[in-house]
């Protein structure tokens, strides 16, 4: 629930910035962190993604703050009109990796372009590992029975 509230607030901020630009013809620079959050939310909606793969520091800050880091595993390089995005994920065991990567690219591109107006020129999906948690849970259940 809290994630959805944060997403709606972020959408409102982006919309408000767009209205200001129309009124004053000013240049707007959207922070890379904002783009990373938008991309992170889009990635989290893709089936087959077990988790985002961030660095050690990202995991520590998540534990200390108690909040989920929506930009974990996302690296953004943006210019005035275009952006490049790198996504680091761990996939669920048994999923077809090319399909998951393609779906990530589509969802991230649509979300970022629709919300920011920037052209996404590159989305690189880096598979950092495979989660076998569901297999371990299944094996435990089978051995207990």
CATH number at residue 118: 3.30.70.1350
pLDDT at 54: 75
Predicted TM-score of the model (pTM): 0.70
What is the domain extent for residue 140?
28-144
Token pair for 33: 């962190």
Residue 116 belongs to a domain: yes
For the beta carbon of residue 131, count every other beta carbon within 10 angstroms: 17
Q: CA–CA separation, 26 vs 21, rounded Å?
A: 5
Per-residue pLDDT in tens (0 to 9) along the chain, 145 residues: 555 666 676 666 666 655 544 444 467 788 999 999 999 999 999 999 999 987 554 444 454 555 567 888 999 999 889 999 999 999 999 999 999 999 999 999 999 999 999 999 999 999 999 998 766 665 555 556 5
- Give how many domains the chain has, as a whole number: 1
pLDDT at 28: 79
Q: What is the CA radius of gyration of the chain?
A: 17
* Backbone phi, psi, residue 144, to 5°: -70, -30
pLDDT at 57: 47
Residue 121 belongs to a domain: yes
Comparing CA positions, the residue from 42, 39, 52, 110 lying closest to residue 78 is 39
DSSP H or E run through 20? helix 2-24
């Amino acid at each position: 629930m809290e994630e959805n509230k944060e997403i709606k607030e972020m959408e409102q901020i982006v919309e408000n910035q767009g209205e200001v630009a129309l009124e004053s013809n000013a240049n707007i620079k959207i922070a890379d962190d904002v783009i990373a959050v938008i991309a992170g939310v889009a990635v989290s909606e893709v089936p087959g993604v077990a988790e985002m793969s961030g660095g050690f520091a990202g995991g520590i800050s998540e534990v200390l703050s108690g909040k989920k880091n929506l930009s974990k595993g996302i690296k953004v390089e943006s210019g005035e009109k275009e952006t490049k995005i790198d996504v680091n994920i761990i996939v669920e065991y048994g999923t077809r990796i090319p399909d998951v990567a393609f779906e990530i690219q589509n969802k991230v591109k649509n979300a970022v372009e629709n919300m920011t107006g920037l052209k996404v020129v590159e989305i690189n999906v880096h598979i950092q590992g495979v989660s076998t948690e569901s297999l371990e849970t299944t094996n435990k259940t089978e051995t207990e029975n």
